[in-house]
């Protein structure tokens, strides 16, 4: 009887995993092989939904995949690069000054998503009331329709900057764990500031830096709420990545069969990219 006690305490967790992970996953796999639509009834069609993607029968899927790659690497570059620069800068300031600037840079993360999206919409509003257009008008430059001209750049900046505070905080803590003797020895040997960062600091914080890269990769591949609120994926799918396209097909167009197939491809793509990054970055389990 005592041997069953651990399983008794694990039962609620196992039930949650079954209810919210295993059953939805199996259901998604099944629905992807049907033509289920608004009626929530569908006939089995086998791999027809997947063939629709890979044969480019869907005229939008090519553009969506390109958008996904551009969005992913653009947002990653801003998040990881900006977080690393700010972590080093605020850590170098030290004390209350560094803590104050970290607090200021953490404000975007504390901002409600709707407010954050509204600020970007207002900044790039194509009318005369948009922030950038007001600035351009005051300096004698022509106003522009920012949302139509640069939708992908806008969502990359909005999401990339939002990821900086978390990255900066983790990397600042990692920099604090570097022994000061190592940095001082490098300076005594004649290493410049950039050489100290590239040859000493980055290798010593490679584990958290790699983790943040992989974590944000998964986040940018599978989340789309800010894109939906700022541009809606438009104009004409110009800022629609695969995650948002999956949502649109499944829950806006109610093409549940095709949407489920897109979701499975998104999951597979996420797994491939994560393992590729683990190999590329040389991430291994710490002992």
Question: What would the pLDDT profile of 31-79 be if each residue is shown by its tens digit?
Answer: 999 999 888 888 888 889 999 888 878 889 999 999 999 999 999 999 9
For residue 243, being part of any structural domain is answered with yes
pLDDT value, residue 256: 92
pLDDT value, residue 80: 94
Question: Which residues are CB-neighbours of 82 under 8 A, at least 6 positions away?
Answer: 160, 161, 164, 167, 168
For residue 171, being part of any structural domain is answered with yes
Which tokens go with 102? Answer: 């970290």
Which tokens go with 69? Answer: 């790659």
Residues 80-85, mean pLDDT to the nearest whole number: 93
Q: What is the DSSP letter of 241?
A: -
pLDDT at 240 over 60: yes
pLDDT at 281 over 60: yes
For residue 246, being part of any structural domain is answered with yes
Nearest CA among 269, 279, 286, 261 for reference residue 47 = 261
Average pLDDT, whole number, for the chain?
88
pLDDT value, residue 70: 95
pLDDT at 116 over 80: yes
Which tokens go with 112? Answer: 């409600």
Instruction: Evaluate whether 82 touches 161 at the Cβ level (below 8 Å).
Output: yes
Q: Which of 100-104, 161-165, 212-216, 241-245 has the lowest mean pLDDT?
A: 100-104
How far is Cα 100 from Cα 94, in angstroms, rounded to an integer? 10
287 pLDDT band (50/70/90 cuts)?
A: very low
pTM value? Answer: 0.87
Instruction: Evaluate whether 206 touches 80 at the Cβ level (below 8 Å).
Output: no
Residues 179-186, mean pLDDT to the nearest whole number: 82
Number of folded domains in the chain?
Answer: 1
For residue 22, being part of any structural domain is answered with no
How far is Cα 120 from Cα 111, in angstroms, rounded to an integer? 13
Residues 154-163, mean pLDDT to the nearest whole number: 94
How far is Cα 170 from Cα 167, in angstroms, rounded to an integer? 5
pLDDT at 22 over 70: yes
pLDDT at 257 over 90: yes
pLDDT at 273 over 90: no
For residue 26, being part of any structural domain is answered with no
Question: Which residues are CB-neighbours of 106 under 8 A, at least 6 positions away?
Answer: 165, 168, 169
Domain range holding 276? 44-281
Instruction: Evaluate whether 75 touches 159 at the Cβ level (below 8 Å).
Output: yes
Most confident range, picked from 22-26, 150-154, 271-275 = 150-154
1 pLDDT band (50/70/90 cuts)?
A: low
pLDDT value, residue 97: 82
Instruction: Evaluate whether 278 touches 261 at the Cβ level (below 8 Å).
Output: no
pLDDT value, residue 65: 92
For residue 20, being part of any structural domain is answered with no
Q: Which of 67-76, 193-202, 267-276 has the lowest mean pLDDT?
A: 193-202
How far is Cα 113 from Cα 230, in angstroms, rounded to an integer? 10
How far is Cα 102 from Cα 109, in angstroms, rounded to an integer? 12
For residue 23, being part of any structural domain is answered with no
- Asked, as a colleague might, if the bond just before 235 is cis with ω within 30 of 0, I would say yes
CATH code of residue 78: 1.10.3720.10
Residues 77-95, mean pLDDT to the nearest whole number: 88
279 pLDDT band (50/70/90 cuts)?
A: confident
What is the helix (H) or strand (E) element at residue 193, kind and residue range? helix 193-196
Instruction: Evaluate whether 83 touches 90 at the Cβ level (below 8 Å).
Output: no
pLDDT at 152 over 80: yes
284 pLDDT band (50/70/90 cuts)?
A: low
Better-scored residue on pLDDT, 248 or 200: 248
For residue 251, being part of any structural domain is answered with yes
pLDDT at 164 over 90: yes
Instruction: Evaluate whether 123 touches 183 at the Cβ level (below 8 Å).
Output: no
């Amino acid at each position: 009887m005592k041997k069953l006690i651990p399983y008794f305490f694990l039962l609620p967790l196992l039930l949650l995993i079954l209810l919210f992970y295993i059953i939805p996953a199996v259901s998604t796999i099944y629905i992807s092989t049907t033509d289920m639509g608004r009626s929530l009834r569908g006939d089995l069609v086998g791999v027809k939904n997947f063939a629709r993607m890979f044969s480019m029968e869907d005229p939008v899927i090519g553009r969506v995949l390109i958008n996904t790659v551009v969005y992913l690497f653009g947002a990653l570059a801003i998040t990881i690069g900006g977080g690393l620069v700010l972590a080093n800068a605020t850590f170098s300031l030290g004390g209350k000054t560094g803590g104050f600037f970290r607090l200021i840079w953490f404000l975007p993360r504390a901002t409600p998503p709707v407010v954050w999206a509204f600020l970007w919409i207002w900044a790039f509003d194509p009318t005369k009331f948009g922030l950038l257009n007001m600035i351009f008008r005051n300096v004698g430059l022509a106003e522009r329709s920012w949302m139509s001209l640069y939708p992908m750049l806008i969502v990359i900046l909005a999401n990339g900057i939002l990821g900086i505070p978390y990255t900066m905080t983790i990397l600042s803590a990692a920099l604090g764990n570097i022994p000061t003797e190592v940095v001082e020895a490098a300076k005594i040997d004649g290493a410049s500031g950039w050489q100290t960062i590239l040859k000493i600091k980055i290798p010593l914080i490679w584990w958290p830096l790699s983790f943040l890269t992989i974590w944000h990769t998964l986040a940018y591949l599978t989340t789309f709420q800010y894109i939906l609120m700022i541009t809606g994926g438009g104009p004409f799918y110009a800022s629609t990545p695969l995650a948002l396209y999956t949502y649109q097909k499944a829950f806006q167009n109610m093409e549940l069969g095709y949407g489920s197939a897109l979701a499975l491809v998104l999951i597979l793509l996420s797994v491939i990219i994560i393992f590729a990054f683990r190999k590329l970055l040389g991430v291994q389990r710490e002992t």
